[in-house]
Amino acid sequence: MKTMIAFDLDGTLAESKQAIQPEMAERLQSLLTVADVAVISGGDWPQFETQVVSRLPEGADLKRLWIMPTTGTKLYRFDGEWKAIYADVFDTDERQKIAAALDQVMREKGYDQGQTWGERIEDRGSQITFSALGQEAPLSAKKDWDPDFAKRKDMQVDLVKLLPGLSINMGGSTSIDITREGIDKAYGMRKLTEHAGITFENILFMGDAIFPGGNDYPVSAAGIDVIRVRDPEDTAVAITAVVACLKP
């Protein structure tokens, strides 16, 4: 019996950097009546607050919601207010090395050219995220930049060589997430089980990047049951089916 349903955020619950739609918010509220819900993604807490938490209907059982920013290197729980339970952050030397490697690969691949919207490299404390078109790029531009992940797979090969000992995974529409080695969504799921007092067998995970090199893939590789979805519409259908199965 699954007691927790976990989700990726961008591409799964919502379009990249966009708030969940009202229909999705209602589906999640319904799911929270039959199971705990975890959301894990590369964004930091403010992104989760904007995209998910603030969009849930009044009366949603927030105490059953587990928010896991920066690929699970942070955990937030609600107890009258949202509080950070833990955070695992980079030191100064690690930050500088990662930024230099990203700058080098962007130049070598020619991805430092063209229009951008906002910063391309975002330091999220426990994770550094590269966004090819900038953090504020419009969804239409992001969808067209790397729909088959080919550009980021190419970058990933070079980054792995430049940053040994770090975990480098693709996520969202244009992003690459960099964390310490061994810190990926499987790490986040392990931390989640420790705090929730459950096992992998109790979790069902849904994500759109469950393929080798995708930042959802480590969850599947760790042995957690997964559903690969194509987009938020696909996820909404899956949630409806799960709620029907878990209802007493």
The predicted-structure confidence for 129-186, as pLDDT tens digits, reads as follows 999 999 899 999 999 999 999 999 999 999 999 999 998 988 778 999 898 888 889 9
What is the C-alpha radius of gyration for the chain, rounded to an integer number of angstroms?
Answer: 17
**Domain 92-180 in the same topology as domain 4-88+183-246:** no
Nearest to 177 by CA among 43, 6, 5: 43
> What local confidence, expressed as pLDDT, does residue 43 receive?
86
What does the DSSP 8-state code read for residue 89? -
In single-letter form, the type of residue at position 6 comes to A
Q: Which two tokens stand for residue 155?
A: 């970058």
Q: Is 148 helix (H, G, I), strand (E, B) or coil?
A: coil
> Would you state the pLDDT for residue 78?
97
Residue 237 three-state SS: helix
CATH topology of domain 92-180: 3.30.1240
Query: Whole-model pTM?
Result: 0.77
Which pLDDT score, from 0 to 100, does residue 42 have?
Answer: 85
pLDDT of residue 125: 87
Task: Name residues of the chain where pLDDT drops below 50.
Answer: none
Sorted by where each begins, the domain ranges of the chain are 4-88+183-246, 92-180
pLDDT per residue as tens digits for the range 104-118: 999 999 988 889 999
* Contact (CB, 8 A) for 7 and 39: yes
Distance CA 68, CA 52 (A): 12
What is the predicted pLDDT for the residue at 8? 97
The fold of the 4-88+183-246 domain, in CATH, is Rossmann fold (3.40.50)
